[in-house]
Amino acid sequence: GAGVSQSPSNKVTEKGKDVELRCDPISGHTALYWYRQSLGQGLEFLIYFQGNSAPDKSGLPSDRFSAERTGGSVSTLTIQRTQQEDSAVYLCASSLSPGVVGANVLTFGAGSRLTVL
């Protein structure tokens, strides 16, 4: 697609429920990133994919968070047993393969706003 697409744009859920957030990167972009942005805060790194593999999972806040990427394209971020502190905007970004000129420029989606009641 022309840009990075994220869905849903808004999600309200009850504490304890599971949620799935989807990211559809730019076609041809092999690198994919997930970040979390709490109200008025900067971007907190969650996980990075190169192709389907995740060499760096160090940012995932707890074992309730998991992410996968299939076919080197769409990625899903899953949060199990949601807590109120999980409320934030979850941003996805993609970029070209490392080593390609301009590879380190991230193109972001508009984000998925998660509210846990």
Partner 1 sequence: EDQVTQSPEALRLQEGESSSLNCSYTVSGLRGLFWYRQDPGKGPEFLFTLYSAGEEKEKERLKATLTKKESFLHITAPKPEDSATYLCAVQAVNNNDMRFGAGTRLTVKP
Per CB under 8 A, residues contacting partner 1 are 4, 31, 33, 35, 41-43, 45, 48, 50, 55-56, 59, 91, 93, 98, 104-111
Complex with partner 1: residue 65 or 109, whichever CB lies closer: 109
DSSP assignment of 78-99 equals EE-S--GGG-EEEEEEEEPPTT
Complex with partner 1: residue 52 or 107, whichever CB lies closer: 107
The single-letter DSSP state of residue 73 is S
CB of 56 to partner 1, least distance (A): 5
CB of 105 to partner 1, least distance (A): 5
Q: Are 109 and 5 in contact (CB under 8 A)?
A: yes
CA angle 5, 10, 11 (to 5 degrees): 120
Beta bridge mates, 44: 36
Complex with partner 1: residue 33 or 65, whichever CB lies closer: 33
